[in-house]
Amino acid sequence: MKIDREFYRRDARVIARALLGCVLGTRIDGGITRGMIVETEAYLGVDDPASHSARGRTARNSAMFARGGTAYVYLIYGIHYCFNVVTGDEGTGEAVLVRAALPLQGVELMRTRRRRQPRREADLAMGPGRLASAFGIDLRLNHADLTLDERIWIEPGEHIDDEHIVATPRIGISKGVELPWRWVARPPVDSGASARVRPGGSPGRDR
């Protein structure tokens, strides 16, 4: 079951929060991969200097000005793809960058798509470039309609309570840095554990 159009026709910050716990799915070349979204960032239109749409429409960012529910995929640093969910009405230029997901289905396919194997399975799609790689997302999916396209979609997921979500400033930007428009779903168990000092030497890098 896919999320319908009305969901995407809201403020990018509301949708960024609401997408946590939802399930991203792709079917590329016959292979299905699915994962739970755990990290997002909101980017607004002309009033948000960190947004790709702030300085107007270009060939690269044109999908960002489509109606809510459209996929915006772009190449960053000449190497990595980033997957965004366009939000709001047509012409607004708002989107949500999907930064991380927990693998649920097609884990082996995700591994074959990633050059290097992460130590933990949970890290397969941690970070926007890794997520796009693991899910097989590239420029072919730019402009795809998430409510209709057979290759990429988002399903409703489990509700994540506010106490398990942290809002922080966005990553890797130089303008609008103070705005807390990044949302991260914490693992259920972690509180206090990071304050503890780990004894002994690190097992170190094998290999």
The binding site for DNA (CB under 7 A) comprises: 41, 43, 50-53, 55-56, 58-61, 64, 72, 75-80, 82, 84, 95, 97, 114-116, 118, 127-131, 133, 170-175, 202, 204
Nearer to DNA, 23 or 101 (CB): 101
| Smallest separation, CB 173 to DNA (Å) | 4
Query: How is the chain split among helix, strand and coil, in percent rounded to 5?
Result: 20, 30, 50
Please, which residues bridge with residue 11 across strands? none
Nearer to DNA, 53 or 70 (CB): 53
Strands 165-168 and 23-28: unpaired
User: Using CA atoms, how far apart are residues 85 and 110, in angstroms rounded to an integer?
Assistant: 21
Nearer to DNA, 105 or 117 (CB): 117
Nearer to DNA, 1 or 79 (CB): 79
| Smallest separation, CB 161 to DNA (Å) | 25
| Smallest separation, CB 116 to DNA (Å) | 4
Q: What angle do CA 183, 110, 203 make, to 5 degrees?
A: 80
Nearer to DNA, 18 or 110 (CB): 110
| Smallest separation, CB 99 to DNA (Å) | 7
| Smallest separation, CB 146 to DNA (Å) | 15
Q: Which residues of 105-114 are buried (b: 16+ CB within 10 A; e: fewer)?
A: ebeebbeebe
Contact 36, 100 (CB under 8 A): no
Helix (H, G, I), strand (E, B) or coil at 54: coil
